[in-house]
Structures are given as structure tokens and as C-alpha cells.
Amino acid sequence: MNILIVDDEILELEQLVFLIRQRYPEWELFEAEDAVQAKKMLENHPIDLSFLDIRLPGESGLELCAYIRENYKSECVMITAHADFQYAQHAIKLHVFDYLVKPIITEELYRMLENYVNKYGYIEGLSSDIQEVIRIIREDFHSKINLADLASQVHVSPNYLSRKFSKELGMSFQEYLIKYRIEMAKVFLKAHPEWSIQKIAEETGFASIYHFSQSFKKHVLETPTQYREKLHHD
Amino acid sequence: MAETIFTILVMLSLGAPIAAYVVLLLLGFLDKELDYLQLENKKMEMEKELHRVEYLQLSQQIQPHFLFNSLNAMLSLNRLGRAKDLTHALEEFSKFLRYKYTEKDALVAFEEELAYTSHYISIQQIRFGNRLKVKIDIQEDARRTYMPPYMLQTLVENAFKHGLEKQPGEKHLQIGLEREGNWVILFVADNGPGSENASFGVLGVGLINVKRRLELIYDLHSELSINREAGRTILTVKWPYTPEGKV
């Protein structure tokens, strides 16, 4: 998990880093003092969540948030000195994840982070490159994914990634990928009764309908059609 | 002869009451006029007093933005285990509050006002660290002047709110006091990006209030202006040199 904190108050940066590190020591934290520095960080690191002071010097926190929402798949949390109705309205329009009101209350910060973790399925205790691999799988499961490409995306060798993945998750990369695709297939079978099995297989990244049916049967102990029929009966 | 005397007597006995009545009427009118003038005077004094109370009340309010930022800075210091810095911050904040809640005369010594404002600046210094640079130049022959309370503080708060807090990188604040004949000139400059108000020389509510205060205290000329010059916003106040706490 990569976090970006943008604030021109050095003390506030130190405080947030301290508090987040205390609760999630394995997360990577990046700091920036203004929008210019923040944009550079965003270019060079895959940032999951940004904390933005609403009153940044230069480009404001809200403008930076709009930029992040437009260009990256990343959430923003605004930090304001006191509840300000106008700002809050702006923030809602930009679909910010949440906002924190200064002074920072430990409990409020941790509750917000837990909400984030629950929403995005972050798995505690994983190293940041494995988190990144999982994030990519969750985003791109419908297209072709192979270990070698993933390894180059997180700048490690395929062998190293394969070993690290099995060690941290207790299953191989292939196994995890298939399990995830099948979970998504279940979601689609339920949500789109009009979709053909062929379409479900395509949308979940299986190379063929045969491959899909075999894998599904192996994990769920029934065929996709049986699974769907049972849902309709219930 | 007797007839004329009689006529005069009749005229007198008739005329005297009328004349007396007219005089009485006039007296009453004069009295009312005097009353009216006194009332007018009293009304003006009451208006002045009302403005003084309003001004003090407004100036005594702590900007919520500053209050919560200060608390946040102090919480940070505590969480980071910087006990010495936290004590310093709490002391500065306490001295800042102490001055706020002290009864004020119409005029206070400039030095007292400067000491008070420096507590505010100390807390900002804790928030921004080395990136906030403060320069203070006080001319010796101006130092002993008196001024309306909270005037310097209002100018400095203005510089932070509309200038320094919007300035990326280094933040420069400069305070100067000079003597010009029978007048003193105070200026507060910041290197912030400047607001629209500043470029057009328009004063915000807080500054208008200070200007009005000066006009009500001093019969002699006083002025307060804002302008942009060489990338800085400069607030300038001019008022009669006042070596004592009385006008």
C-alpha cells in the first residue's frame, strides 16, 4: 500500500507519518509539500491513497484532488482546519473518499483507514509489491495476465515474485488468479442473468469456455449453469 | 396728560404679560435647543463607545483556523515525543491568550502590542519551521508610541491568512515601524501571492475596522492602505506619534 501525504506544514507531515506508521508499519509513505512535488511522486509511484491539505499553497488541495481523480485510480482524503461548509461541498463533488478535520484525532484517522482497507480489500501483513500485484489482478482480471509482465511492472524477476507470492499468500500466483476470476464469475452470474456462459468466461479473463467450466466445476463443485439455476430457484 | 398715562398703564398691563409670555416661550425654546445639542453630543460619544466595544470584541475573537491549527501543532509535538517544544508552544499560546483577555485601554504601548503579536508568530514558526523567516525593524524614535490595541496583530493575521499560508516554499514576513515628523508609520509585508483585494487596494472587513478605529481616536490625519509592490503585499498604517497612552 502506497500513501501520499501532501501538506506544507512540516509538523503535520511528521504527525501523519507517525500515526499511520504506528498502525500500518508495512505501508510505504511518500511526502510532498505542494502540488508540484505531489505530481512528481504520483508519476513515479503507484499511489493508492492521498492525504491532501485543503489549503495548500499554490494549487489548492481540491484542485490537486481533481487532478488525481482524473488521471489516476487513486482515492483522496482531504484535511481541513475546521469544518467549512463550502469546502465540504466541493469535496463531495470530487468524490473524495473522506475528510479529516484538524486537529487530527487518532481514532478518527484509524477508523477512516479501516474503512479504506475494508473497501479495497487490502490484506494486512503483505509487502508492498505483493499488494501491488494483487491490486493489478483486481483491476485487470478480465484481460490476459502473466507472471512475467507483472514482475516487470513491479520491477522484480518472475522467479523472485513467484516465490514471494507463494510465501506470503500460501498459494501460487496461478491459483490465486483463478480463484479470483471464479469469485468474479460468481458475482457476474448473479448480477447479469442475461449474460451467456461464453460472455461470463470472456469477462473474467478465461481463455476458453471449456477452461472456464472446468475450473469452475473444480472449485465450486458444480457447473456455471447449475450454479446460476440454483440462484434462480432460491 | 392723565389720558396718556392711563393709556400707557393699560398698554403695560396688557403688554407685560404678553411680553413675559413671549420671553418664557423663547427661554423654553432655547433650553430645548441646548438639550438637543447635549443629546447630540452624548449620542456621538455613545456611538464611539459602541464602536470601541465592537472593535474590542471582534479583535478578541480567536480565528478558528488559527485556534485549531495551534491545537493540531501541539498534539503533533506531543505524539512525536517533543516535550520541550510542546512546553514552549503551550507557553507561547498561553501568553497569547493572556493578552487577549486583559482589559484594554483605548491605547496601548506599541512594545506591548509587539510582544503579544510575537507569541502568535512563535506558534506559526512552530508550524512552518525554518521556512518562515521573520524580520522586525523598529526605529528608536518611533518605538515609544502608543496605538489602538490589536492593530499590529490584525495586520499580521491578515498577512498569514491572505499571503503566507498561500505561499509555497519560503515565507517572508517583515514588520517595520518608522517615525515621520509627528507621525509614525507601521508596515507589515509578506511575499505571498497576494489577493485580488490587495492588487486593487481594497480593504477587507478587519482592516476597515482598524481604519475606522484610528479615525475615531485621532482628530489628526491617519491612514491605512494595502498595495502590491515587487511581489509583496504591503500593509501601511500611519497615525500621529503618541508618546503617552492618551490622545
Would you call A84 an interface residue with chain B, using a CB distance cutoff of 8 Å?
A: no
Cα A31 off chain centre by? 19
Q: Which fold has domain A2-120?
A: Rossmann fold (3.40.50)
Of A231, A223, A12, A197, nearest to A104 (Cα)? A12
pLDDT of residue A22: 86
Dihedral pair phi/psi, residue A233, rounded to 5° = -65, -40
Does pLDDT of A124 surpass 70?
Answer: no
Interfacial residues of B (vs A; Cβ cutoff 8 Å): 64-65, 68-69, 71-73, 75-77, 79-80, 126-129, 131, 165-169, 193
CB-CB contact of B119 with B95 (8 Å): yes
Contacts of A56 in chain B (CB under 8 A): 168
Question: In percent, how much of chain A has pLDDT > 90?
Answer: 48
Q: Are residues B52 and B73 in the same domain?
A: no
CA distance B16 to B5: 16
Contacts of B193 in chain A (CB under 8 A): 58
Report helix, strand or coil for A156.
Answer: coil
Does pLDDT of A125 surpass 70?
Answer: no
Query: Band of the pLDDT at B48, cuts 50, 70, 90?
Result: confident
Would you call A92 an interface residue with chain B, using a CB distance cutoff of 8 Å?
A: no
What is the ipTM score, two decimals? 0.70
Query: Band of the pLDDT at A233, cuts 50, 70, 90?
Result: confident
pLDDT of residue A216: 94
A59 Cα to chain B: minimum distance (Å): 9
pLDDT of residue B201: 78
Average pLDDT for B196-218: 85
Q: Are residues B32 and B97 in the same domain?
A: no
pLDDT of residue A160: 93
DSSP state of B131: G
pLDDT of residue B35: 85
Tell me, yes or no, whether B191 lies in a domain. Answer: yes
- Domain's final residue, options B45, B60, B75: B60
CB contact under 8 A, A102 and B165: no
pLDDT of residue A84: 65
Q: Are residues B4 and B104 in the same domain?
A: no
pLDDT of residue A1: 81
CATH number at residue B231: 3.30.565.10
- Mutate one of A7, A10, A11 to test the B interface: name it (highest B CB count within 10 A): A11
| Paired strand residues for B177 | B138, B186
Tell me, yes or no, whether B247 lies in a domain. Answer: no
Contacts of A33 in chain B (CB under 8 A): 168
Tell me, yes or no, whether B75 lies in a domain. Answer: yes
The CATH architecture assigned to A128-233 reads Orthogonal Bundle (1.10)
Q: At what angle do helices B110-128 and B64-79 cross, to 10 degrees?
A: 50
Contacts of A102 in chain B (CB under 8 A): 68-69, 71-72
Does pLDDT of B84 surpass 70?
Answer: yes
Q: Are residues B154 and B53 in the same domain?
A: no
Tell me, yes or no, whether B246 lies in a domain. Answer: no
Q: Are residues B40 and B122 in the same domain?
A: no
Does pLDDT of B39 surpass 70?
Answer: yes
- Mutate one of B61, B69, B172 to test the A interface: name it (highest A CB count within 10 A): B69
Range of weakest confidence among A162-171, B170-179, B180-189: A162-171
Of A100, A97, A124, A119, nearest to A110 (Cα)? A100
pLDDT of residue B32: 84
Q: Are residues B74 and B52 in the same domain?
A: no
Q: Are residues B11 and B122 in the same domain?
A: no
Report helix, strand or coil for A78.
Answer: strand
**DSSP assignment of B158-197:** HHHHHTGGG--S-EEEEEEEEEETTEEEEEEEE-S---HH
Tell me, yes or no, whether B50 lies in a domain. Answer: yes
Three cell numbers written together for B109: 504601548
Q: Are residues B124 and B167 in the same domain?
A: yes
Would you call A37 an interface residue with chain B, using a CB distance cutoff of 8 Å?
A: no
Domain boundaries, chain A: 2-120, 128-233
Q: Are residues B183 and B118 in the same domain?
A: yes
The per-residue pLDDT for range B99-156, each reduced to its tens digit, is 988 888 889 999 999 999 999 999 999 998 889 999 999 999 999 999 999 999 999 9
Does pLDDT of A142 surpass 80?
Answer: yes
Average pLDDT for A135-155: 89
Query: Band of the pLDDT at B89, cuts 50, 70, 90?
Result: very high
Question: In percent, how much of chain B has pLDDT > 70?
Answer: 100
pLDDT of residue B111: 94
- Mutate one of A9, A16, A39 to test the B interface: name it (highest B CB count within 10 A): A9
pLDDT of residue B226: 93
Contacts of A36 in chain B (CB under 8 A): 168
pLDDT of residue B156: 95
Q: Domain total for chain B?
A: 2
Average pLDDT for A81-96: 72
Does pLDDT of A234 surpass 70?
Answer: no
Average pLDDT for B47-58: 81
Does pLDDT of A29 surpass 90?
Answer: yes
Domain span at residue B190 reads 61-240
Q: Are residues B225 and B105 in the same domain?
A: yes
Does pLDDT of B22 surpass 90?
Answer: no
The Cβ of residue A209 has, within 10 Å, a number of other Cβ atoms equal to 16
Contacts of A109 in chain B (CB under 8 A): none
CA distance A84 to A68: 22
B80 Cα to chain A: minimum distance (Å): 7
CB contact under 8 A, A81 and B64: yes
Quote the mean pLDDT of chain A: 88
- Domain's final residue, options B60, B81, B96: B60
CB-CB contact of B189 with B235 (8 Å): yes
> Which residue in chain A has the smallest CA separation from B66?
A81
Range of weakest confidence among A166-170, A226-230, B56-60: B56-60
Tell me, yes or no, whether B14 lies in a domain. Answer: yes
- Domain's final residue, options B31, B60, B89: B60
Q: Are residues B132 and B195 in the same domain?
A: yes
Q: Are residues B14 and B128 in the same domain?
A: no
Tell me, yes or no, whether B67 lies in a domain. Answer: yes
- Mutate one of A8, A12, A37, A85 to test the B interface: name it (highest B CB count within 10 A): A8
Average pLDDT for A166-174: 88
